[in-house]
Amino acid sequence: MKEYTGELADLWHHMPSGYERTGGFWFVRAGRNDAKPHYHVGPKQIDSYGLHFIVSGELQLSYGSRQVILGTHDMFCLFPHQTYEYRIHSAEPLQMVWLTMEGPQMRELMQMIGLNGNLPYRKEAMTLECLERLQAIEEVIWHHDQQHLSTMKLMSAAYRLFEELEREPLYEAPAANTSEVHWVAEAVSFFQLHYTESLRVETAARMFGLHRSHFSHVFTQKVGLSPQQFVQQLRLERAGELLKDAALQIGEIALSVGYPDLYTFSRAFKRLKGCSPSEYRRLITKYKLDPSKPRIEARDPYSL
């Protein structure tokens, strides 16, 4: 470790590759230290997310107008553009490891491990498994030179650490005062993502902590279509787009949008469009070849 004013520390600075920057988050720097008795940082702000793990000792963290004493196996995060200050709090040696990261998923990732700007710390967060996964990150960072550092190993180790730290499931049952508009919008997004798959209304309702009948009733009231009708419309509107590509077989399109066979697809398509998929394709081809006639356009998928 190199000696600095308030600590002995190893510091690691990283230039993320183009590949790393296409992901949800990437490393900027990292460090580990043995603090001196007068160790004191700040007040200061940083531009990234600084995740700190207290290996031993105690410190006092100040954020906004609040203060908290944190100790061994606690963790805290310095959120971007917020003022923080922290200092050693006891005679016991203070040791920390910190990981500084950026990326579009960082705020949501911090929420998944139980941290946010109003509550940037967790006490007793570091289990034995967490410590082992943190050590795996340290192994990649400090036991390889920058030119031979494995990005895959580093990111894999990071995901394993976050997996162990994850505190809340991705979808929680909405609180009693959660807006119906909010969860309906989330349900719409869920169906738009999974409409080509075999879906049951019970599955979607359970994700939002709701009974099937209540979920269906409110969804139908807000959207104007039942969940089943909404999924069918998404499938058939996409099918209408795919039918414009003459290279695609109609049976292939049926399977691509979630129908088990050509017969079921053709019946559903004719109910919505008023003609069979093959007739629809012929009409589209005809109007494309004759610009003087109006083109048939598939309706846009329903949105809130």
Report the distance separating Cα 208 and Cα 188, nearest Å.
12
Say what the pLDDT of residue 142 is: 86
Say what the pLDDT of residue 145 is: 65
Chain centre to alpha carbon of residue 253: 30
Write out pLDDT tens, residues 79-93: 999 999 999 999 999
Asked whether 93 and 34 are in contact (CB, 8 A), the reply is yes
Say what the pLDDT of residue 126 is: 93
Does domain 2-165 fall into CATH 2.60.120.10? yes
DSSP codes of every residue in 1-25: -EE-SSEEEEEEE----HHHHTSS-
Choose the CATH number for 180-289 among 3.30.300.30, 3.40.50.300, 1.10.10.60, 1.10.150.120.
1.10.10.60
Sheet containing 40-44: give its strands across. 40-44, 84-88, 59-63, 66-70
Reported pTM: 0.68
What residue segments make up the domains of the chain, in order of their start? 2-165, 180-289
- Count of beta carbons in the 10 Å neighbourhood of residue 259: 22
Q: How many CA atoms lie within 13 A of 140 on its CB side?
A: 20
- Count of beta carbons in the 10 Å neighbourhood of residue 247: 5
Domain 2-165 and domain 180-289, same fold? Reply is no
Report the distance separating Cα 80 and Cα 88, nearest Å.
22
- Residue type (1 letter), 257: V
Say what the pLDDT of residue 144 is: 67
Say what the pLDDT of residue 300 is: 39
The pLDDT averaged over each successive group of 10 residues in the chain (304 residues) is 92 92 95 95 94 97 95 96 95 95 95 94 94 94 75 93 78 52 90 90 88 94 94 94 93 94 94 92 72 38 37
Asked whether 212 and 218 are in contact (CB, 8 A), the reply is no
